[in-house]
Structure 1
């Protein structure tokens, strides 16, 4: 017995503008997709449910190829500064949180971004110290490669003025050498992972449940996440995933395994579950552009004394990849700066994946023509975040210089060169809504200068290319392109149903008003807009 879906515009993504009239699903699989009359004739005796789509637009289920699912749930539970545009707004929200938190307990906020603040800069620990000396306070920058901590938090972490920068990290200091409270990349680990008390499994389950429910409202039926090394014992997030994802919450999670926990993971022989797959070994090669810790081959244009931070030396990076290969694992490596990208290419060239396997380079924002040439014939797929163009322009031009930006965020060049790409949000860094990523890929408009046209439009994608990132691209990143990412017999019955048709919009800005009418995962309706 099965379900007939009909009465809408159904795009299969098998090719541009490829459509069918109806879909027949049985259980969690697509049995047929094509002419409605033909399907009724072939399956009429087994159709026990019909869903009339009311003219809405159907796509294969959108999948976010790079996010931090539990982190997204935490953002929904915590102070969120990502939409705030002034010091006063941040301080007001923080004051409210402090007032309701018992003295001695940690106060944690998410998402500050100095580039969208009217002041153009972020205050330091002095402001936090004035607000409370009784609460350790940590505010995470939107990129999650920097935090601001108050004196109480620094004291608990044992960070003093004489403390040296850890390998791969920077302890921020004022001009007089005193601690500013800013900790970048591996320096923030001292607070986040070694000082803040570990969370409980119930906390993780609550965050994960909130995240998945939110994903469904945005049409996401799956996501590739990295959570296993951030919450104390590795088994805690694994147990949370096992207990939350189920027939009642059928979200497909593909989990990367951080190199810090890969040995423990492999020794425990942890197997895939129905809704949980384990994939590549995750490595960080550098930091982020916001805090100037992304590793560049030439200095930052707005700070000629800085090139960024190498989280690992070339030798260490090579050794990590050898470890991944010893476990027959692909790698998924965070590379934002061109020098980090080059180091990652060097390592993969020395130690390529097994035949039929493919590594993932995550972000790939700052490239050079010679790196793109090297990349073309390598077994690598790029995990890109189109929404970064909306967040990083125009300030990124001053940071990198106009010449270097010409080959940055070069999504169209990469796709035209035949380099496979998948699309993600990096939530909670960026909003999880895939339509925002699709809009950014097509328009390249900045949220900071909405009145301006798109930046470097030669790198803009077509609507089809942009949607392909979140369907076929995400499936290909994990070798699931023969069962996910298209509406085709034998594929998973996962659908994203929109109230408007992106392919017929005269103005791509209409994407910003488009809503998800229904989300279908495993053949089940998991979200339905109230008026659908």
Structure 2
């Protein structure tokens, strides 16, 4: 009937430092927290199992507030270029991949900023090793892609092809495409790729969930429904794997506006025990790495551009209006301050009547824009790990003066703005401990300095809040999940170390001992 969990430090996340020594769970809910002997006495007729956690440290179940679960599974299946640190190494890996018996050569995660020579391959170089097969390589930010000539040919991209709305076909001085496609331009190639089979999506999703559970995650807010053909088919895979299967995991799915335009909002509405749909997802701009994030002033290292607006102001307004007509909040990808300004214009024109809108990334936020955000029912969905990945090269993009108001997580919290924490996997590693470490240190694990903009470092409690109470607040469920408290869901992450007492670099040495969803152990290190 009920389970008593004992012999651990149970951090409630209700207040900093508050903990208990035992928790009683029944029917997937926390029925009581407190002293072991008191709970044993009070619930002795209902306790059917006692689990000794052997002096571990227990937190409310970690939830990744922004990622792409199927994309994370694909990263585990495909050629992963995210850990490649030279252009020569990337070239050799691509040569090996080209010899496989695949119709297309597909890779993910390259980042020229990791290379000493900052090399971005030309399509003609990729042609030399692709054996006549089409090739597409997504950049780590997923706002740019490299393709070879065969892929350009299949997509019908020539020197005369105009830039699509919200995208750029990069061309050389002769006007010929180089193979680098920014934002919506990459969709021209993706449209001619073979249709994804549902069995492939299912395999990727199962891999992703297993990996996330092993990293202590009980749930994730994911955006996947517009990338694999039929949105309803993709949604049905989530339901089949999670609701109808044995993999207990809380999947809150953002709904890309393209999916709504394709099949309608009503057909995509779900409110299951483990799978639910949420806000309308919209992209306002691109990413800093490819200089497609929309800034209010030109890039410091390339004054010829200020980035890319995915939509005009009128189009963005119409998409927010579409959400309101369907009783939906919005979740808008916004990295540059130019895009943030456009987004706030749209939300102010069509304000939410209930719930909270979500602003995803918010990497460059001027003070005047922060003041506007404070007046709106919004939560900022930040990815602390970006500090470790984007510095120091992002200083070249933004310049030191503008950087003072960028990646400024502590400033956002001091301004009273609610924040949730995610990874944006597969762009960053899915491990929440990496995100917590980055929030606390603002540097890479192997670096020893005080952090980039050290005044923006978070305390360990604030960092853990991002992945617990913050993620709950993002979906308007702060009174039901995100704390170890009576009446809350019995979702718990069990670690070998006390994140609030150890040195920051020791965070990365913490082991996930158990991941518990609905009071059931879904992962155990043993």
Pair in the same fold by TM > 0.5: yes
Question: Residues 402-413 of structure 1 correspond to what in structure 2 (within 5 A)?
Answer: 402-413=400-411
- Contact residue 300 and residue 399 of structure 1 kept, 8 A: yes
Write the distance in 1 (CA, Å) between the matches of 2:268 and 2:464: 36
Question: Is 2:319 the partner of 1:320?
Answer: yes
- Contact residue 285 and residue 293 of structure 2 kept, 8 A: yes
Correspondent of 2:180 among 170, 179, 182? 182
- Contact residue 108 and residue 140 of structure 2 kept, 8 A: yes
Counterpart in the other structure of 2:310: 311
Correspondent of 2:501 among 489, 500, 504? 504
Deviates more, 1:465-474 or 1:176-185: 176-185
Deviation per residue, 1:434-468 (Å, 9 max, x gap):
01000000000136x72433010111100000000
Question: Residues 246-265 of structure 1 correspond to what in structure 2 (within 5 A)?
Answer: 246=243, 248-263=246-261, 264-265=263-264
Write the distance in 2 (CA, Å) between the matches of 1:267 and 1:509: 47
Deviation per residue, 1:17-65 (Å, 9 max, x gap):
1101100111211111111111001111221111111111100000000
Counterpart in the other structure of 2:352: 353
Deviates more, 1:428-437 or 1:38-47: 38-47
Correspondent of 2:205 among 203, 208, 219? 208
4+ residue runs over 4 A deviation? none
- Contact residue 259 and residue 281 of structure 1 kept, 8 A: yes
- Contact residue 392 and residue 446 of structure 1 kept, 8 A: no
Deviation per residue, 1:268-287 (Å, 9 max, x gap):
36432221111100100000
Counterpart in the other structure of 1:370: 368
Counterpart in the other structure of 1:151: 149
Correspondent of 1:459 among 456, 471, 495? 456
Write the distance in 2 (CA, Å) between the matches of 1:101 and 1:295: 40
RMSD: 1.2
Write the distance in 2 (CA, Å) between the matches of 1:445 and 1:296: 24
Write the distance in 1 (CA, Å) between the matches of 2:310 and 2:454: 33
Question: Residues 163-312 of structure 1 correspond to what in structure 2 (within 5 A)?
Answer: 163-192=161-190, 194-246=191-243, 248-263=246-261, 264-268=263-267, 270-312=269-311
Write the distance in 2 (CA, Å) between the matches of 1:340 and 1:453: 31
Q: Residue 242 of structure 1: CA displacement?
A: 1.1
- Contact residue 101 and residue 107 of structure 1 kept, 8 A: no
Query: Which secondary structure state, in structure 1, belongs to the residue aligned with residue 467 of structure 2?
Result: helix
Query: Which secondary structure state, in structure 1, belongs to the residue aligned with residue 252 of structure 2?
Result: strand
Counterpart in the other structure of 2:41: 41
Counterpart in the other structure of 2:56: 56
Counterpart in the other structure of 1:514: 510
Counterpart in the other structure of 2:524: 528
Query: Which secondary structure state, in structure 2, belongs to the residue aligned with residue 311 of structure 1?
Result: coil
Question: Is 2:12 the partner of 1:12?
Answer: yes
Q: Residue 262 of structure 1: CA displacement?
A: 1.4
Q: What TM-score results when the alignment is normalised by the length of structure 2?
A: 0.98
Counterpart in the other structure of 2:419: 421
Write the distance in 1 (CA, Å) between the matches of 2:99 and 2:241: 32
Correspondent of 1:130 among 98, 105, 128? 128
Deviation per residue, 1:180-229 (Å, 9 max, x gap):
1010001011112x111111111100000000000000000000011111
Q: Residue 234 of structure 1: CA displacement?
A: 1.1
Q: Residue 241 of structure 1: CA displacement?
A: 0.5
Q: Residue 401 of structure 1: CA displacement?
A: 0.3
Unaligned runs of 5+ in 2: none
Counterpart in the other structure of 1:472: 469
Deviation per residue, 1:93-115 (Å, 9 max, x gap):
2222221224xx11100100011
Number of residue pairs aligned between Structure 1 and Structure 2: 524
- Contact residue 475 and residue 484 of structure 1 kept, 8 A: yes
Write the distance in 2 (CA, Å) between the matches of 1:311 and 1:158: 22
- Contact residue 356 and residue 378 of structure 2 kept, 8 A: yes
- Contact residue 166 and residue 311 of structure 2 kept, 8 A: yes
- Contact residue 12 and residue 488 of structure 1 kept, 8 A: yes
Deviation per residue, 1:383-420 (Å, 9 max, x gap):
00000000011111111000000000111011111111
Closer, same or farther in 2 for the Cα pair 1:34/1:267, shift >3 Å? closer
Q: Residue 514 of structure 1: CA displacement?
A: 1.4
Deviates more, 1:242-251 or 1:336-345: 242-251
Q: What TM-score results when the alignment is normalised by the length of structure 1?
A: 0.97
- Contact residue 148 and residue 183 of structure 1 kept, 8 A: yes
Write the distance in 2 (CA, Å) between the matches of 1:108 and 1:408: 33
Write the distance in 2 (CA, Å) between the matches of 1:249 and 1:309: 40
Q: Residue 249 of structure 1: CA displacement?
A: 0.6
Query: Which secondary structure state, in structure 1, belongs to the residue aligned with residue 264 of structure 2?
Result: helix
Deviation per residue, 1:120-139 (Å, 9 max, x gap):
22222122100024211111
Write the distance in 2 (CA, Å) between the matches of 1:222 and 1:281: 19
- Contact residue 336 and residue 366 of structure 1 kept, 8 A: yes
- Contact residue 98 and residue 131 of structure 2 kept, 8 A: no
Write the distance in 2 (CA, Å) between the matches of 1:486 and 1:385: 21
